[in-house]
């Protein structure tokens, strides 16, 4: 499948390469297919404090789109997605409520 | 079984079936020859061409028949690029075009050309200003925009795109596969592609229309058929049937499209009321009359399709687990909407309101059960 190039308007969704900052919680969803990474995130986001950040490690390409979309639907904040050297992403979400 | 997947293929229209059987008997001879049966086949073919051209807003000599909508796209885009080689090698597409357009763009890129995919907003619509800016880039040979998106139903600003293309002197290729026979074709296209089985014609008939004066060169070896645009012996009977279906659809479409659009409106309104954590996708107003897509949080698309099939509903999905590639739909990705738990409902002509009602009745429990199986309350 021919993949689209990074569209400029979606710059905040594109993965960034510097090392991801430390987060309050890391959820390891490597090797898990969507919707499992999102179910894990929804289950555990309540265990960090308000305004704290959760990192979801995932390598299912659907998670790269779906976690930011989940944040939009659930009014949490998608902070950034970092590409991991071993493949996949660390997707950072801030708890808003 | 309630068939709610018209966007994949529309069931054969009764008028097409009748025309197909009749044309198989009288239209089998070679339309390129000069004896009686051949002239009869030629007459049938050209009559069908004139009828299809009229509904699509083209001149008969601008219309050629291909063996599929996909082939019409391949020929349309590659031929336009070949005809514009001296103007440049840059191709502009929207990020949500059908895969046949994007795969053609991939071929162009491997041949040393460049491609820009113009992004879309969360409804799946390309911004006219963004498209205009991309087209205005020096060296742009061709631009491609669909009339409506095949997965989410959002209509694209084709008329505006055509104006910016005309201003930049760039031909606009328009993929009308999802809207032809359902909505009027927007003005301004240079090359148009459509597919008969999407409007109730038989499979195996695509339409390639090239406006008079548009530079186009076939990427295939030379062949005398179809105005030297499409290689191979014409499928006269299927073309006749395609024309019969399109004519019938055009006559019915005002009333039927409004009826289907009301049913879609009901699905758009009721699904989020009856099912928690659902996102209805695509533009609620500027959309195809017969198609709606929604995504259910915490649900696997494949499980949803299987359960709906068991309950007697044929629908489709853009979720990755339902695709052979194991990638989510590029359309949903480009829109930035949920790709899992995705369901596309597209209503065929004549669908009963009862079937839609029954779908709305069984859906909440199916979603609840699939969520439960994944441990979601």
Contact B264, B289 (CB under 8 A): yes
pLDDT at A97: 94
pLDDT at A3: 46
- Which among B103, B299, B339 is the nearest to A62, CB-wise? B339
Q: Which candidate in B317, B326, B333 is best for mutational testing of the A interface (most A CBs within 10 A)?
A: B333
Identify all chain B residues contacting A68, using CB atoms and an 8 Å cutoff: 336
Q: Is B91 on the interface with A (CB under 8 A)?
A: no
Q: Is B298 on the interface with A (CB under 8 A)?
A: yes
Contact B347, B293 (CB under 8 A): no
Assigned token pair, A72 = 């939009």
Query: By CA distance, what is A12's nearest residue in B?
Result: B336
The per-residue pLDDT for range A46-83, each reduced to its tens digit, is 999 999 999 999 999 999 999 999 999 999 999 999 99
- Which among A2, A35, A72 is the nearest to B340, CB-wise? A35
pLDDT at B222: 87
For chain B, residues with pLDDT lower than 70 are: 321-326
Full set of structural domains in chain A with CATH: 21-94 (3.30.110.40)
Using DSSP's 3-state secondary structure scheme, residue B263 falls into helix
Task: Give me the phi and psi of A61, to 5 degrees please.
Answer: -55, -30
The per-residue pLDDT for range B271-317, each reduced to its tens digit, is 999 999 999 999 999 999 999 999 999 999 999 999 999 999 999 99
Q: Do A5 and B279 touch (CB under 8 A)?
A: no
Q: Do A65 and B333 touch (CB under 8 A)?
A: yes
Identify all chain B residues contacting A60, using CB atoms and an 8 Å cutoff: 320
Q: Do B338 and A69 touch (CB under 8 A)?
A: yes
Assigned token pair, B179 = 């809207």
Chain A closest-CA separation from residue B52 CA (Å): 32
Question: Catalytic one among A34, A36, A48, A52?
Answer: A34
The pLDDT of residue A10 is above 60: no
Q: Do B336 and A33 touch (CB under 8 A)?
A: no
Task: Give me the phi and psi of B172, to 5 degrees please.
Answer: -110, 120
Chain B closest-CA separation from residue A38 CA (Å): 7
CA-wise closest residue to A25 among A97, A80, A96, A92: A92
Q: Which helix (H) or strand (E) holds B295?
A: strand B291-296
Report how far residue B371's alpha carbon sits from residue B377's, in angstroms, rounded to the nearest whole number: 7
- Which among B95, B106, B338 is the nearest to A7, CB-wise? B95
Q: Where are the alpha helices (DSSP H) in B193-352?
A: 225-228, 236-274, 301-310, 330-335
pLDDT at B150: 97
Assigned token pair, B262 = 């009301």
Query: By CA distance, what is B279's nearest residue in A?
Result: A73
Full set of structural domains in chain B with CATH: 2-6+253-373 (3.90.1150.10), 14-248 (3.40.640.10)
The per-residue pLDDT for range A26-37, each reduced to its tens digit, is 999 999 998 999
**At A6, is the pLDDT very low, low, confident or very high (cuts 50, 70, 90)?**
very low
Contact B322, B309 (CB under 8 A): no
- Which among B119, B298, B340 is the nearest to A10, CB-wise? B119
Q: Do B320 and A60 touch (CB under 8 A)?
A: yes
Q: Do B102 and A5 touch (CB under 8 A)?
A: no
**A71 catalytic, yes or no?**
no
């Amino acid at each position: 499948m021919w993949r689209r190039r990074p569209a400029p308007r979606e710059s905040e969704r594109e993965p960034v390469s510097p090392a991801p900052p430390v987060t309050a919680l890391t959820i390891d969803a490597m090797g898990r297919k969507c919707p499992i990474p999102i179910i894990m995130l929804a289950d555990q986001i309540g265990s960090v404090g308000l305004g704290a950040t959760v990192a979801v490690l995932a390598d299912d390409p659907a998670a790269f789109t779906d976690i930011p979309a989940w944040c939009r639907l659930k009014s949490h904040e998608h902070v950034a997605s970092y590409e991991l050297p071993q493949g996949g992403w660390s997707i950072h979400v801030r708890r808003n409520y | 079984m309630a068939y709610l997947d018209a966007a994949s293929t529309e069931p054969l229209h009764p008028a097409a079936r009748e025309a197909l059987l009749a044309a198989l008997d009288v239209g089998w001879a070679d339309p390129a020859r000069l004896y009686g049966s051949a002239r009869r086949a030629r007459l049938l073919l050209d009559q069908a061409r004139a009828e299809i051209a009229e509904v699509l807003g083209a001149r008969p000599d601008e219309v050629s028949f291909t063996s599929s909508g996909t082939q019409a796209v391949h020929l349309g885009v590659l031929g336009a690029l070949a005809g514009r080689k001296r103007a440049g090698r840059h191709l502009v597409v929207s990020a949500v075009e059908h895969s046949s357009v994007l795969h053609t763009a991939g071929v162009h890129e491997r041949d040393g050309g460049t491609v820009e995919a113009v992004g879309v907003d969360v409804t799946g619509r390309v911004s006219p200003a963004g498209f205009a800016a991309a087209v205005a880039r020096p060296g742009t040979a061709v631009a491609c925009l669909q009339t409506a998106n095949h997965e989410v139903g959002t209509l694209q600003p084709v008329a505006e795109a055509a104006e910016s293309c005309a201003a930049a002197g760039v031909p606009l290729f328009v993929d009308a596969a999802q809207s032809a026979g359902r909505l009027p074709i927007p003005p301004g296209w240079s090359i148009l592609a459509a597919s008969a089985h999407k409007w109730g014609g038989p499979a195996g008939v695509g339409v390639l229309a090239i406006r008079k004066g548009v530079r186009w060169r076939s990427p295939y070896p030379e062949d005398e058929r179809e105005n030297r645009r499409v290689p191979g012996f014409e499928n006269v009977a299927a073309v006749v049937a395609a024309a019969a279906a399109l004519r019938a659809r055009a006559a019915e479409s005002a009333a039927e499209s409004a009826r289907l659009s009301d049913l879609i409106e009901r699905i758009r309104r009721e699904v989020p009321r009856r099912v928690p954590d659902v996102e209805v996708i695509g533009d609620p107003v500027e959309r195809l009359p017969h198609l709606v897509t929604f995504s259910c949080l915490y649900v696997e698309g494949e499980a949803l399709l299987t359960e709906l099939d068991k309950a007697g509903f044929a629908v489709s999905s853009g979720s990755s687990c339902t695709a052979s590639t194991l990638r989510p739909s590029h359309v949903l990705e480009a829109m930035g909407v949920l790709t899992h738990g995705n369901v596309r409902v597209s209503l065929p002509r004549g669908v009963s309101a009862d079937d839609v009602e029954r779908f709305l009745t069984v859906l909440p429990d199916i979603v609840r059960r699939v969520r439960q199986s994944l441990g979601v309350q």
